[in-house]
Structure 1
């Protein structure tokens, strides 16, 4: 079941997102960033602030009272920004991510937004290919990767974001 996340879900979301993106647990799935970044992907304060912002929606995918997937959707001018698409590492390739993408498209339509955009780290070839199979196209736009105390690159390869877009409706 896909529903809107609330502040009550912050702790579970934080655990899920960090387990899927970073650390040893993330290596069970194919979407890990553990080989290119150290540090946490997010924290409870950031997630709480995100949920409290009326321009943001975090959709959660719940099964047996456990949050097994989520996605951040942000209203920005004439587009919906999609970020932090997360599926529990043990359940990747089970269709949860695809269902969350479909729900994101419905959310964009409900808001009257004609396109969804996202940024993906340039070295994530397999993930970029997955998004392209789901209708996203490379816009050719690149953005600098914001290395910080939270996002610590551990790869020699320079990192940047590739902007992907999907037209809706």
Structure 2
């Protein structure tokens, strides 16, 4: 397996991968589906490109079986933005194709993001998870992340993040020391 930062020409395929893992019919074949919470897309190539441009030092790490293969997993990793803890990196969008889930690839991607941050001076990781995703929160807790007690609002009205199916969504903040 090969882990490497995404190239610009791969962003459209990565958007398809992310959307397939979290939304729609294929997502129901895996355990990470949030279709029961959100409709619409999770991301698109333009948003990924804009996020990479707006966050210098960020990377969308990909995993593929061999050079030239289409990625079947990815993870977003972003350096601190100067607010709060100066060494806390953000990790998100941990994605594995629904057809390849439950085989340790998600753990591999999370560890790759942590190693990427650590190699660049990161001392801790931070993430946000939709509060009602109990199974996912428990999965992160088994990997050393802990709930901080902090929450962030869900971006209702901004369909770039999906169309909420309920009105009680918010994010919980989790962190892990490296």
What RMSD in Å do the two structures reach over aligned CA positions?
1.2
Match for residue 73 of structure 1? 77
Conserved? CA contact 1:22–1:38, under 8 Å: yes
| 87, 90, 99: which one aligns with 2:96 | 87
- The alignment partner of 1:104 has SS state of helix
Q: Which runs of 5+ in 1 are unaligned?
A: none
1:101 maps to which residue? 110
Q: Find the aligned partners of 1:10 and 1:50 in 2 and give their Cα distance.
A: 11
Aligned equivalent of 2:63:
61
Asked if residue 3 in structure 1 is aligned to residue 13 in structure 2, the reply is no
The answer to whether residue 161 in structure 2 is matched with residue 159 in structure 1 is no
How many residue pairs match? The answer is 167
**How far does residue 50 in structure 1 lie from its aligned partner after superposition?**
2.6
The ranges of structure 1 where at least 4 consecutive aligned residues each deviate by more than 3 angstroms after the TM superposition are none
1:149 positional shift: 2.3
Pick the structure with more strand per residue: 1
* Deviation by residue 1:53-100 (Cα, 9 ceiling, x = unmatched): 423111001125121100000101321100111000111111111111
SS of the aligned residue for 1:131 comes to: helix
Q: CA deviation at 1:39?
A: 1.1
Alignment match, 1:114: 123
- On the 8 A contact 1:22/1:37 being kept in 2, the answer is yes
Name the SS for the 2:46 alignment partner: helix
Superposed displacement of residue 145, structure 1 = 0.7
5+ residue gaps, structure 2, are 81-85
Does the 8 Å CA contact 1:5/1:51 hold for their aligned counterparts? no
Q: Look up the match of 2:83.
A: none
In 2, the alpha carbon distance for the partners of 1:104 and 1:72 equals 7
Contact 1:7 1:51 in 2 (8 A): no
Whether the aligned pair in 2 keeps the contact of 1:145 and 1:161 (CA below 8 Å) is yes
* Residue 161 of structure 1: how far off its partner (Å): 0.3
